Structure 1
Amino acid sequence: MKAIRVCWAEAAVPGGAVTLPGGGAVTTEWLPVAQVRGDYAAAPAAYSAHYLGPAELSVFARITVPKRQVEWLAGRVAAKRLVCLTLERLGLAVPPSQLAVLGRKPGGRAGKPELSAPPGGGYGRGGPPELPITDISLAHTLRFAVCGLASGGRVGVDVEPLRSFSPALLRTVFTEREVALAESVFPAFDPAHRATALWVVKEALLKAYGIGFAHGWGTARLRGAGPAAAVFDINLPAGTDPGDRVHIRYGRLTDHIFAIATVTPWATDGHQQKGQLRAWD
């Protein structure tokens, strides 16, 4: 287990770009799932062909539950809108269908997907440029699809509806100390929703490290916390860079709680290292 110090703060509804300590930025895209559902229903073939490449269309067709299908599509639409906007600022007009967000396993719940672009596709003679993107994260609920895009670090996003944890569920996913800390460090939330806030914060933090709850509920444990900082014990895989600075911004969006975690990596030779594009549903 690695002790990770996190600076955290309550934030307003996220949007636009947030500058990372040490350079770089994180941008987010929030997309109502109902909007995607309506647009897709109006022209299913045209809408899916605009946003999805051949491999994604194959995965999309294998998702048999309509609700899950639309949520999966909404996550890809949010991601591609954000990535295409980033490319446009570089003077690159890339159709969304030329980008792919695919998991490593077949099926709608494929775990951690990766964002890729076809080599040489639509970029001219120079081939695909070095993109100013170091990490990408996805989350969705019945109402929202969210994408976070990082330049110069890692990002993890999560969003959950406000809900109450039963006593049995609390005992399953949190320690008694964590429950007590949640009661003291999330005063802006109703007591019944403070466990949800801690859950969302943990999810975003673990997504930023690219592991999720890979080792069970104990993958991340809140050891200590105050209003401006916290310490998490995290079971990081060997070789994982714990980062130079870790920040979490959390808050409430209508009847949801969101969290955006950012990890600024240790600089090597004075420069941030650009990692592989990746995402986590």
Structure 2
Amino acid sequence: MQVPAVFQYRRATSVEDALSLLAEYGPESRIVAGGHSLLPMMKLRLAHPEALVDINDLTELAGVRVEGDALVIGAMTRHAALLTAPEAGAHFPILHDAERVIADPIVRNRGTVGGSLCQADPSEDLSAVFAALRASLVIHGPEGARTVPARDFFLGPYETVVGQRELLVEIHVPVRPSTSAYVKVDRRAGDWAVGAAGAVLTIVDETVAEAGIGLTALGAPRFVAEEAEEFLAGGPPTDARFVEAGRIAADHCEPVADQRGPADYKRHLAGELVTRALRRAVGRV
């Protein structure tokens, strides 16, 4: 039987209370919401925080809504809630695509959007999706709130810009005319991705005005294929250009060999998945 080390447990009553508790317990404290990433690591003694700050009572951090020119997603929004939110599907089908292939209903009913982003797992789906969408993330801390572009949020595997005394509270996605899609290859339903790609296209007068391409588990810096995005912008949304964008994305990613496959296979997969995501996105127009 796997049992975590001894730790203190406190239940926050507000964002300010959560920040106060993080300051009180210091650098060895951790936020817990869904707990699907942190608790298994604690049981294996791979993580051993001295204190857990539970934010499950912070219902003000949950929900999906359109506010002004942005889709606003609370950090405590459960995956299942985002999957069924009509506002998300209407503006950004990529969000529903990704949520359908995240784990299983049990995990989706408990796990949170903010928790997934803060985990910064290279194989986690939403990191690439929000990077492709050019979302902004709102972080609260002792000095107030600050907003960070999703593409600057991730510092590396399992590392983000959220400080020890800070809390991610919202994700803002600018609402604009676009089409989008997310495709994933995994070994079995609900598994971590062998590889996945998300595409977001704004098309004006038969020209790609802006492209967003996110990659999951394929060694793309900050989860983004920037070179492929730059290639697509300003040109027509043709299949030949989608194939070339996939080739460019594959050339600029650095996948790591693991139990899910060798690096060369994953690099090939990157190209194929980018092309498929772009085709699927345009097919929705």
Give the TM-score category using the shorter length: under 0.3
**Higher-RCO chain (CA-CA 8 Å, sequence separation at least 6):** 1
More helix by share: 2
TM-score, with length taken from structure 1: 0.26
Q: What TM-score, normalized by structure 2, do the two folds share?
A: 0.26
